Chains A and B, each alone.
Chain A
């Protein structure tokens, strides 16, 4: 194995074009190094991309945010605290300080662990991923990009370079709810990302996505369908309606017993986690309409 320092994005793209699956880009390494130690990943060329600061920018314009693949979790926590609170909250739970200091959004997405923290929030944001190769770039929906457990549509010659999400407009609220055995350093037993808009007391553009309940993070379209267009009562979804809507989360869930929890435990907590994410999102949405986005911050 060779360790190589990328001095430009072009260098990485040439390496990927030449040697494809034998090349492993290395950023923070919090996933790649573990995989190598377990012999799950055995690249010929380990290409260190951390120095490519062009890939670590966050650009906000025209109603969306473009987040470079090398933006670290600790930077997301700070930079997105007001603009994308659920993403900030999710990034704050990826391991501890040591993990967040070097782990990146690109790594979290491209390694596609079923329990990864950022994908459910990004799916709720209708995120699109930009993939770059020596042939050019393409952008596809994250929902399409994620295929299965640690499986994505990234071609061997492609580098994930950025992720684009819509900004949270006025009246929009989001949330990330994570179930684990303890508060810190947990891999999610259940992870739920949500985003919705409250328009004159009616729920619109409801998005709910779930992690750790199937081979990949998925949109809970049944839940979204039930809630779309629902009128709030006293600023909330009536409990029966919320429970009924969240029961639809099992349409797409594929629950198994694993090292972290039993399928029965997930079956019990998943709809409640979904309900919590919806309620928190509504709370934020109503709060943001009242005060206006960015007021006083």
Chain B
């Protein structure tokens, strides 16, 4: 076990974690932040995506101990209370069906919009290459970002 201090959604958090404990397990089990989902535990599906120092990472493959002194943002940290503009757009465009992929998708898209405020559909799809959605066929997800950034209703 090793002691770490991780800034989680802005709050410095002291934890004692196993040597190879994943950030996903620690977030869900020790911090009760269950927004990040366990989909595959192999870094293939993106349902566990969180931001580490602002970059999207599969938390199922990242050691919690490696986050000492760093900042982690989960889906819970992306809005406090009302939905963010991106989340509203996602709901309005029909981009949420079963909802399992949604936290990971929102985390990635948030990171994308921070870097590219007006992404093309191609850029959106490339950004989401590491997120699997079995319900929407991705179309409404891409549309939600296009609608958000252009104000156009497709």
In the complex the two chains form, what is the Cα distance from A99 to B42 in whole Å? Answer: 11
Distance to closest chain B CB from A228 (angstroms): 37
CB neighbors of A among B41-65 (8 A): 41-44, 46, 49, 52, 55-58, 61-63, 65
| A183 to chain B: closest residue by CB | B129
| B1 to chain A: closest residue by CB | A3
In the complex the two chains form, what is the Cα distance from A183 to B44 in whole Å? Answer: 14
A101 at the interface (CB under 8 A from B): yes
The one of B42, B52, B63, B127 in contact with A26, judged by C-beta atoms closer than 8 angstroms, is B63
Chain A residues within an 8 Å CB radius of B108: 97-98
| B112 to chain A: closest residue by CB | A97
**Cβ contact within 8 Å between A185 and B129:** yes
Question: Contacts A99-B130, A101-B56, A184-B129; is A33 near B22 (CB within 8 Å)?
Answer: yes
In the complex the two chains form, what is the Cα distance from A97 to B58 in whole Å? Answer: 9
A2 at the interface (CB under 8 A from B): yes
Total A-B residue contacts, Cβ distance less than 8 Å: 80
The one of B2, B19, B61 in contact with A29, judged by C-beta atoms closer than 8 angstroms, is B61
**Cβ contact within 8 Å between B56 and A3:** no
Distance to closest chain A CB from B109 (angstroms): 11
In the complex the two chains form, what is the Cα distance from A183 to B129 in whole Å? Answer: 9
In the complex the two chains form, what is the Cα distance from A246 to B39 in whole Å? Answer: 41
B131 at the interface (CB under 8 A from A): yes
Chain B residues within an 8 Å CB radius of A33: 20, 22, 43, 61-63
CB neighbors of A among B93-130 (8 A): 108, 111, 126-130
Distance to closest chain A CB from B47 (angstroms): 11
| A46 to chain B: closest residue by CB | B19
**Cβ contact within 8 Å between B66 and A98:** no
Q: Number of B residues whose C-beta is below 8 Å from A?
A: 30
**Cβ contact within 8 Å between B65 and A99:** no
Distance to closest chain B CB from A196 (angstroms): 28
Q: Is the interface of A mostly helix, strand, loop or mixed?
A: mixed
Chain B residues within an 8 Å CB radius of A34: 42-43, 61
Q: Number of A residues whose C-beta is below 8 Å from B?
A: 24
A134 at the interface (CB under 8 A from B): no
The one of A30, A46, A183, A185 in contact with B61, judged by C-beta atoms closer than 8 angstroms, is A30
The one of B20, B44, B55 in contact with A46, judged by C-beta atoms closer than 8 angstroms, is B20
A21 at the interface (CB under 8 A from B): no
**Cβ contact within 8 Å between B20 and A98:** no
Chain A residues within an 8 Å CB radius of B127: 97
| A27 to chain B: closest residue by CB | B66
Question: Contacts A29-B66, A34-B42, A48-B63; is A98 near B56 (CB within 8 Å)?
Answer: yes
B68 at the interface (CB under 8 A from A): yes
Question: Contacts A1-B19, A46-B20, A48-B66; is A98 near B46 (CB within 8 Å)?
Answer: yes
The one of B42, B68, B130 in contact with A96, judged by C-beta atoms closer than 8 angstroms, is B130
A231 at the interface (CB under 8 A from B): no
Chain B residues within an 8 Å CB radius of A36: 20
| A96 to chain B: closest residue by CB | B130
Chain B residues within an 8 Å CB radius of A97: 56, 108, 111, 126-127, 129-130
Distance to closest chain A CB from B150 (angstroms): 22
Chain A residues within an 8 Å CB radius of B41: 37
A130 at the interface (CB under 8 A from B): no
15 A-B residue pairings within 8 Å (CB atoms): A3-B63, A5-B68, A26-B66, A30-B43, A33-B62, A48-B63, A50-B66, A95-B130, A96-B128, A96-B130, A97-B111, A98-B46, A98-B49, A99-B58, A185-B130
Q: Which 4 A-B pairs have the closest CB atoms?
A: A96-B130, A184-B129, A96-B129, A3-B19
- Residues of A at the B interface (CB closer than 8 Å) are 1-3, 5, 26, 29-30, 33-34, 36-37, 46, 48, 50, 95-99, 101-102, 183-185
Given contact pairs A33-B61, A96-B130, A185-B130, enumerate 18 new A-B contacts (beta carbons under 8 Å). A1-B19, A3-B20, A3-B65, A26-B63, A33-B22, A33-B43, A46-B19, A46-B63, A95-B130, A96-B46, A97-B111, A97-B127, A98-B58, A99-B58, A99-B130, A183-B129, A184-B129, A184-B130
